[in-house]
Amino acid sequence: MSDGPGHEPSLSPDEARIAIVGTTGSGKTSLAGELSTRLRVPHVELDALFWGPEWTQVPDEVFRDRVSTAASADRWVADGNYGAVRDLVWSRATTLVWLDPSLLVTFRRLLMRTLRRCLTREELWSGNTESFRTAFFSRNSLLLYAVRTHRRRRKGFADTFRDPEYPHLKVVRLSSGSSVRCWLGGVGHA
């Protein structure tokens, strides 16, 4: 596993099946969107395949079928942390990017994103939007979830990457915005 730029070869569009993981608010979707544009490959947002209207979860078999179809393509960038489909995504991926910023950084990003989405009523997946009530005054608050799970998820990722189940993956760990920008600088320029 690489701990940042300079340790992994550049990615070319020909080898672009990239899975991006990280704690809530780490920048997975933003990075996936940027990579998708640079490499001219589809962006597979696992949240979009998972969430139905009114924040309902699609049935597991539907979710797995959607992800299986998306992952069967020759080239893609996928973002998300769904253990239920990890086998489908990681077995096809060539590269796994682990975004691992500090809790302070992820919380700040998540807070700003949540405020923007609440104020603009930005439509997410299946017509869903975030609200101030659920974002700040609910047991299901994503902000609260981020604080509660950050340390556990970070350790879980580190343990998972030591598992020999996916030896074909090139794992790149990026812990700061500058390491992400530096790594992105070499993408598509093999």
Domain residue limits, the chain: 13-185
Please give the pLDDT value at position 11: 59
Mean pLDDT, 10 residues at a time, over the chain (190 residues)?
49 76 93 93 96 95 98 96 95 94 94 94 92 87 91 88 83 93 78
Please give the pLDDT value at position 66: 98
165 vs 79: CA distance, rounded Å: 20
Superfamily, domain 13-185: P-loop containing nucleotide triphosphate hydrolases (3.40.50.300)
The Cβ-side half-sphere exposure at 19, using a 13 Å CA radius, reads 27
* Pick from 175, 190, 177: nearest CA to 34: 177
Task: Please give the structure tokens belonging to residue 15.
Answer: 């080898």
Please give the pLDDT value at position 19: 97
CB atoms within 10 A of CB 119: 10
147: left (phi over 0), alpha (psi -120 to 50) or beta: alpha
172 vs 97: CA distance, rounded Å: 5
- Sign of the alpha-carbon torsion through 74, 22, 173, 183: positive
21 vs 38: CA distance, rounded Å: 19
pTM: 0.88
Please give the pLDDT value at position 6: 42
